[in-house]
Chain A
């Protein structure tokens, strides 16, 4: 069972805080929702796969099974770990709240 902590989709102020500083440290309120987002099942969990060491990463999902490779999401490639965190934050925001994250 996933974490039950609710994410209030009107708290775009917290999303803005994350986008400005995705690697943290975060405020207590933001850390709560980041913790909620990171607490997922192993199968399907987003991870980054090194494409070029220290330069380029691709998004992937874990299989959750020993010996079974990650699934690469070829259209999601990042040149910084910060951008990757931002992209996954957006996806998880929509998945959990049911509302796309719209920031000005």
Chain B
């Protein structure tokens, strides 16, 4: 049985000719060398009735054999504060924080540490599964003394914790107090210990929050024993603080009379949109967050009166740390490509192979960034058609663990099939999660990154979803012989509508679900300025996401009030920390998919796909071009995913949700199974009749409408549409309709 052993990623997802892209690869034992080549991807689906895998070698200096090696990944989030004058000559010590542990019973976890373990110098404050709060102090002779409070924490409750050390008498005082009030609480308490001999709390190690560290890698301390949960206002002081002083330091500015003795007091309610943590003491011992812990989360004092962290930053002054979050694997590059100047825009991959092992690190060669001065459209891009690769959605689904962790059997209405990719991903929890998964402590995953192997975002991945499903569209375009450029969500996010305006027609892929504001604006402006848009999928333009310019390759999303979703954001945590924008469904921000493309998400199911039937509207002369040469009333009763063109996630037209009043619904799907269920955001009260057999709303609509200045939109309303293009060697009515629309959309004659 094949075991996957090789995987990689690239530092860029889209590069223009002349630019450089680096590839990072890691191999498990058993692979000694691998061959790498740059290929243009033509086709991916290897199922017996499918088109198979095809590529075309791009001759580059990359082609060759490379030695295999295993590269380490350090996941988990924490903060690092460099050693500095703020922490000099510590004798007496106070440590405190307000904490919300989410996995206190699993293992010991570090809250604050500044420790040189080899020298036995420094201090560390821990949560312990049985002892609750624990303080470790260096003895100055290579050892540590340990002082435990002795009462375990309850998970998902706020505590004020503190530990003090008096160097004059050696006394250690530990306190942990539940902020809420329960009868029979046994988790609050205090403990007083006399330490043997003088402690050596002063050391030159960096200070870490939410982790301890014994080694450095890639220029920073490696976080270990990472704390899962929230930390608010950690404080380090150089004398023994009284309970009233500890209470005073929980929030607000540092009191004037304490400023002399405070080494650092970090206010996480500042600089939300950055990786920086701000020390509000005079020392300004600011630090840096590693691996994207969650910011803009509720603190211990959240009242519910304000829902945006920007309106009440002091109520969002906590950070949620996680032992399995990841921004960047930071592997060393195995090889690098300078994209040859004459490389045509397209979908490419670094194809890695070694015996029966393979991987495809997929990237895009976009058209040149600079346009020539000539005004004729043909010269301004390399093609009149652009295929828009939904890299935001790829990132959202990347490393989805649902099938190996849960089986997704009820969703699919079939047994789950687990392949080498899923088992490989399960062997590598350190590669992080998809936005459909939960962190180890149960928190929903609201950040993703492409700076890590995304195991299921591969052209040949057997679960036909996102890239592997989009290969059906690429294969069809190649077979049609129509020249097309390839651009990505990230290109559009940065370049705006000017990138789209190079083209007569822009075609989406099968499931462009995640959109930033900049992306949404670009697509909307394109449709309003005479552009022609072919929305070739289902459930598009649904979730709002955010990028951060200083954090390339990372993306944020909040699963807010409703929507078809695998987890839900905590109340009051609906605003994205990257930008301050309200997250969740675009519908909730007043921008419906129906208003943009004529239809929007209405139902999903994953067993059998169905077919479309032409409507009366389809005989309107305005859409005669769509059905030229199409004889059947039934459209797409075939396909490589579930056997039909109407499948997986379905979009319908709705005037109430914003479908333009002049839009024509030219085909409607029918006879979906009961595994197809209406989306919950469209349901008030749950009823028995929400499945495909009972609920007439469970259907997809193919929609066409003209836009201002001669533009138009054609929307297929179904993720499954592209899976039908290959049928009968592309000679079928889905292929014919798609081609008819494309030909008309590439014709400059205005549509309206």
Q: Mark A residues whose CB is within 8 Å of B.
A: 23-25, 28, 31, 34-35, 38-40, 42, 45-51, 53-54, 57-58, 60, 62, 64, 66-70, 81, 84-85, 88
Contact = CB atoms under 8 A, between A and B. Distances in A.
B410 A54 contact: no
B462 A42 contact: no
Contacts of A88: 415
B404 A62 contact: yes
A24 B46 contact: no
Given A49-B418, A70-B423, A54 B406 contact: no
A67 B418 CA distance: 14
B401 interface: yes
B353 to A, nearest CB: 16
Nearest to B643: A23
B410 A49 contact: no
Contact of A67 (B2, B426, B462, B673): B426
B442 to A, nearest CB: 12
A87 to B, nearest CB: 10
Nearest to A65: B405
Contacts of B410: 35, 38-39
Nearest to A55: B48
A48 B462 contact: no
10 closest A-B pairs (Cβ-Cβ)?
A: A50-B419, A47-B416, A38-B409, A45-B407, A67-B429, A25-B673, A42-B406, A48-B417, A49-B418, A38-B410
Contact of A60 (B405, B418, B462, B608): B418
A10 B662 CA distance: 56
Contacts of B409: 38, 40, 45, 47
A23 B673 CA distance: 12
Contacts of B423: 49, 69-70
Given A28-B674, A42-B407, A48-B418, A53 B46 contact: yes
B420 A24 contact: no
Interface string B33-59: 000000000000011100000000000
> Max chain B CB contacts within 10 Å: which of A25, A42, A46?
A25
A49 B1 CA distance: 9
B551 to A, nearest CB: 26
Contacts of A84: 415
> Max chain A CB contacts within 10 Å: which of B406, B407, B415, B420?
B415
Nearest to A22: B414
Where chain B touches its partner, the secondary structure class is: loop
B298 to A, nearest CB: 26
A48 B426 contact: no
B417 A47 contact: yes
Contact of B418 (A23, A47, A53, A85): A47
A32 to B, nearest CB: 10
A64 B674 CA distance: 27
A25 B608 contact: yes
B46 A66 contact: no
Contacts of A60: 418
Given A53-B462, A67-B426, A48 B415 contact: yes
A44 B639 CA distance: 33
A81 B426 CA distance: 23
A54 B48 contact: yes
Given A64-B405, A70-B404, 6 more contacts: A23-B607, A40-B409, A47-B403, A58-B1, A69-B426, A69-B427
Interface of B: 1-2, 46-48, 401, 403-407, 409-410, 413-420, 423, 426-427, 429, 440, 462, 607-608, 673-674, 693
13 contacts: A25-B673, A45-B407, A47-B417, A49-B1, A49-B417, A50-B1, A50-B418, A54-B47, A54-B462, A67-B426, A69-B423, A69-B426, A70-B418
Contacts of A62: 404-407
Contacts of A64: 405
B426 A34 contact: no
A41 B410 CA distance: 11
A51 B423 CA distance: 12
B414 A81 contact: yes
A66 B426 contact: yes
Contacts of A40: 409
Given A24-B608, A35-B410, A39-B410, A81 B48 contact: no
A64 B407 CA distance: 9
B415 A85 contact: yes
Nearest to B610: A25
A85 B414 contact: yes
B417 A38 contact: no
A67 B427 contact: yes
A49 to B, nearest CB: 5
> Max chain A CB contacts within 10 Å: which of B409, B426, B440?
B409
A53 B1 CA distance: 10
A86 B417 CA distance: 15
B4 to A, nearest CB: 11
Given A31-B674, A66-B429, A24 B413 contact: yes
Contact of B401 (A38, A50, A66): A66
Contacts of B1: 49-51, 58
Nearest to B460: A53
A50 B462 contact: yes
B225 to A, nearest CB: 18
B673 A24 contact: yes
B450 to A, nearest CB: 21
Contacts of A54: 46-48, 462
> Max chain A CB contacts within 10 Å: which of B401, B418, B427?
B418
